[in-house]
Structure 1
Amino acid sequence: MNYQETLDYLFNALPMFQRIGAAAFKKDLSNTIKLCDHLDQPQHKFKSIHIAGTNGKGSSSHMLAAILQEAGYKVGLYTSPHLKSFTERIKINGQEIPEQKVVDFVATNRAFLDELKPSFFEMSVGLAFQHFAEEKVDYAVVEVGMGGRLDSTNVLRPEACLITNIGLDHTQFLGDTLPLIAAEKGGIIKQDIPVIISQAQAETIEVFIRIAQERNAPIFFADTYFEITKKGLNKDTLLNDYLVDKRGEMMEVSLDLLGDYQQYNLGGLMMTVEVLQEQGLKISIPIIQSALRKAGKSTGLKGRFQQLSASPLILCDTAHNADGLRIVLNQLKGYKADKYHFILGMVNDKDIGSVLSLFPKEASYYFCQANIPRALAAEELLERAKEAGLEGEIIADVNQAIEEVSKKAKKNELIFVGGSTFVVAEIENL
């Protein structure tokens, strides 16, 4: 098979949650364990940091990988979902896995995969772990797909675990309360392995402490060690400046990831670095500062409060649940635009009503639909928006919507594209 035929095999022969949703979700690690057995346990051939959370785990993974790269380590990075190409999921020092590696993996293991019938995600995890092992990475930063306890990545025995924000997302799989979701995310906590919690949330503190105590895992709530203050956007460097206060010890950092929500990720990131330093990693303050200035660029992160155009001003973000979008919308207010245009699409398994209630009623709306089975029909999104008091029209294709809205937007008006990772993924000039 060539690369395209290999992708067709992966996407079509094996269920893929990214595209079809609940039917592809498997609450079982047995296939991943069998696949790793078949591959000769690649997950144990490199050191790793395991990262879970509702919001912030992707950004935190990229920032940590950037710091480790800057420190001179060979760093694997596994994240999901991808925006443009499958190979984005698996990187070493910012370089995506070669397409031929994907072809060879499937060709070599085709008989076993046909017999085991693993999910798309299980297969991609096996491929990533084998790639990292073969390339002898020093560290792999591995982002959980969903949940944690029964996520395919949870066959690792990492050097440290990081859990970012806990919010209401994927409630049909993980539970409909924050403590229930925290219990699933906390499933990545391992016996005797330190775990860092980015945000001490009242509803989840006891859950994490209980799991950590049961597993004798040292636990660090980052916001009791670090206070992060956003100083603002530096118009000369186009970087967001932050002041990091570790109990009176001050450090300034500048970040090329412009979303305000990074303020909530930085504490967990800094605490994780400190834990790794205590394990012997050579990471100095200048290395941290240099890495964060180019974290997005060096790791290839896209779609996080990204500017697509200056005139008209077009911004996009992959935030897709109430917690994430609340912070994004608050940041958009700071632009004080004369008018806001929102190009929105969503998937059909989210709490649509809670999300739409956050958006301002005085803006203009254009509803689109990503080209995946999970996408909520633009017509239904329009009806749900009307129920929330939002007025707009349907332009089903996101790129057509951007083109048409760009033509009508006047000076000092702002266009925002988002509502779903998959809508952002279809933007042509991302």
Structure 2
Amino acid sequence: MDYAQTLNFLYNQLPVFTKQGSAALRTGLHNIEALCAALGHPEKKFKSIHIAGTNGKGSTSHMLAAIFQEAGYKTGLYTSPHLKDFRERIRVNGQMAEQQFVVDFVARIQNELDDLQPSFFEVTVAMAFEYFVQQQVDIAIIEVGLGGRLDSTNVITPELSLITNISYDHMHILGDTLPQIAGEKAGIIKDGVPVVVSETQAEVEKVFRDKAAAHHSPLHFADQEFLVQDSHTEHQHLQLSILHTPTDHGQQIALDLRGQYQGKNVLGVLMAVKLMQQKGWQLPEAAVHKALSHVSHLTGLRGRWEVIQQHPLTVLDVGHNEAGITEIVQQLAYQVYNQLHIVIGFVKDKDIEKVLQLLPKTAHYYFCQAAIERALEADVLARMALHHGLQGHTFPNVQLAYHAAQQAAHKEDMVLVCGSFFIVGEVQ
């Protein structure tokens, strides 16, 4: 098979969560453990940081990868899902894995694919681990796909575990209370491995304290040690004044990820950097600051309050659940525009009613659906939205919706694309 045929095989012969939802999930770690065993246990051959959480884990992963890369370490990065190119999931120093590697890897494990019938995600995780070993990375930043305890990435023993925050998402899989969801995310905590929690939340703090204590893992709540004193956007960067409260040391950070919500993620990143420095990793403050000002350039990150045009102001954001949309709505309060145009679509297994009630009623909506099986039909979404006072037009695909918004918007208006990774990924 060539590269195109290999991708076709991965998408169409293996169960894919992004297409099928929970039907594609494989319960337990048996398959990934068997795949890793067949490959000679690559998961044991590189150092790593493991990152879970409901929102912000992708941004956090990219920030940490940028920092290690800028500090001179050969840095692997595994994230999901991708926006445009499958190989976005597997990077080393910001560069995507080679097409030929993907082809060769799938051919190499063909017997295991036949025997185990693994999911798409299980195969991509094994692929990433093997690539990082082949590339001899100094460290890899590994983002959890879903949950933590039973996620395929959870076969690594990292240098550090980091959990960003907990909110409602994937409740049909992870549980319908915040403590239940936190329990699944806390499943990445390993014996004696330090844990960072970016954001203290009263409803779940005890879950993390109990889990860390059971594993004798030092636990650090980042926002109990670092404080954002000021936050504003200037010169195309989010300007943050951050205080380390135990030492009264202040620092100014210019972050190229401009959403105000990134302030919470940065605290987790700084806590992780401090702990890794204590472990002997050379991460100078100058390298940290330079990396944070160039995260997108260093790592290829997209879709986090990403401004792709100024007139009209056009922003892409992959926020897709209640907490993510809340952050987007709060960010909108900082923007200046005449009329807001929102291109939006969701997948079927989200709590869409809760999200719709958060969205501004004064915006004009362009309801659409991504080209995946899990996409909620645009006309269904429009009817649901109408019950919440949201009005607009429906479109059969993302491109038509986006172009309609661009044509309707005046130069002092704003166009926002959100609701799903897959909606943002289809914007050209």
Shared fold per TM-score greater than 0.5 = yes
- Measured in 1, the distance between the counterparts of 2:301 and 2:122 equals 23
Which residue number corresponds to residue 344 of structure 1?
Answer: 344
Which residue number corresponds to residue 244 of structure 1?
Answer: 242
Which residue number corresponds to residue 222 of structure 2?
Answer: 222
1:196, distance to aligned residue in structure 2 (A): 0.4
1:118, distance to aligned residue in structure 2 (A): 0.7
Residue-by-residue CA offset, 1:67-100 (whole Å, 9 max, x unaligned): 0001100000000001101100000000000000
1:396, distance to aligned residue in structure 2 (A): 2.3
1:341, distance to aligned residue in structure 2 (A): 0.9
- Measured in 2, the distance between the counterparts of 1:409 and 1:23 equals 40
1:18, distance to aligned residue in structure 2 (A): 1.3
Which AA in structure 2 matches 1:242? L
Which residue number corresponds to residue 149 of structure 1?
Answer: 149
Q: Is the 8 A contact 1:341 1:363 kept in 2?
A: yes
Give % identity: 47
Which residue number corresponds to residue 140 of structure 2?
Answer: 140
- Measured in 1, the distance between the counterparts of 2:321 and 2:156 equals 28
Structural mapping, 1:357-396, within 5 Å:
357-396=357-396
Q: Is 1:171 aligned to residue 190 of structure 2?
A: no
Residue-by-residue CA offset, 1:326-357 (whole Å, 9 max, x unaligned): 11112112213221111110000000100000
- Measured in 1, the distance between the counterparts of 2:328 and 2:360 equals 12
Which residue number corresponds to residue 79 of structure 1?
Answer: 79
1:43, distance to aligned residue in structure 2 (A): 0.6
Q: Is the 8 A contact 1:189 1:212 kept in 2?
A: yes
Which residue number corresponds to residue 7 of structure 1?
Answer: 7
Q: Is the 8 A contact 1:197 1:221 kept in 2?
A: yes
Q: Is the 8 A contact 1:261 1:324 kept in 2?
A: no
Task: Name stretches of at least 5 consecutive residues in structure 1 with no aligned partner.
Answer: none
Root mean square deviation of aligned Cα = 0.9
TM-score by length of 1: 0.98
1:125, distance to aligned residue in structure 2 (A): 0.5
- Measured in 1, the distance between the counterparts of 2:211 and 2:104 equals 40
SS of residue in 2 equivalent to 1:371: coil
- Measured in 2, the distance between the counterparts of 1:263 and 1:387 equals 34
SS of residue in 2 equivalent to 1:21: helix
Q: Is the 8 A contact 1:228 1:266 kept in 2?
A: no
Q: Is the 8 A contact 2:26 2:118 kept in 1?
A: no
Q: Is the 8 A contact 2:311 2:413 kept in 1?
A: no
- Measured in 2, the distance between the counterparts of 1:256 and 1:242 equals 11
SS of residue in 1 equivalent to 2:142: strand
- Measured in 2, the distance between the counterparts of 1:307 and 1:177 equals 35
SS of residue in 1 equivalent to 2:254: strand
SS of residue in 2 equivalent to 1:136: coil
1:231, distance to aligned residue in structure 2 (A): 2.9
Which residue number corresponds to residue 97 of structure 1?
Answer: 97
Which AA in structure 1 matches 2:374? R
Which AA in structure 2 matches 1:169? D
1:412, distance to aligned residue in structure 2 (A): 1.8
- Measured in 1, the distance between the counterparts of 2:307 and 2:396 equals 22
Which residue number corresponds to residue 310 of structure 2?
Answer: 310
- Measured in 2, the distance between the counterparts of 1:80 and 1:274 equals 26
Q: Is the 8 A contact 1:78 1:90 kept in 2?
A: yes
Task: Name stretches of at least 5 consecutive residues in structure 2 with no aligned partner.
Answer: none
Residue-by-residue CA offset, 1:83-129 (whole Å, 9 max, x unaligned): 10110000000000000000000111112211111110000000000
Which residue number corresponds to residue 126 of structure 1?
Answer: 126
- Measured in 1, the distance between the counterparts of 2:260 and 2:27 equals 33
Q: Is 1:32 aligned to residue 66 of structure 2?
A: no
Which residue number corresponds to residue 205 of structure 1?
Answer: 205
1:143, distance to aligned residue in structure 2 (A): 0.1
Q: Is the 8 A contact 1:230 1:240 kept in 2?
A: no
- Measured in 2, the distance between the counterparts of 1:229 and 1:99 equals 45
1:60, distance to aligned residue in structure 2 (A): 0.2
Which residue number corresponds to residue 111 of structure 1?
Answer: 111
- Measured in 2, the distance between the counterparts of 1:336 and 1:239 equals 16
- Measured in 2, the distance between the counterparts of 1:21 and 1:239 equals 36
Which AA in structure 1 matches 2:44? H
Structural mapping, 1:175-186, within 5 Å:
175-186=175-186
- Measured in 1, the distance between the counterparts of 2:33 and 2:138 equals 23
Structural mapping, 1:186-197, within 5 Å:
186-197=186-197
- Measured in 1, the distance between the counterparts of 2:417 and 2:380 equals 18
1:280, distance to aligned residue in structure 2 (A): 0.1
- Measured in 2, the distance between the counterparts of 1:346 and 1:284 equals 41
1:207, distance to aligned residue in structure 2 (A): 0.2
Report the CA distance shift for 1:230/1:325 in structure 2 as closer, same or farther (over 3 A).
farther
Aligned length in residues: 426
Which AA in structure 2 matches 1:220? H
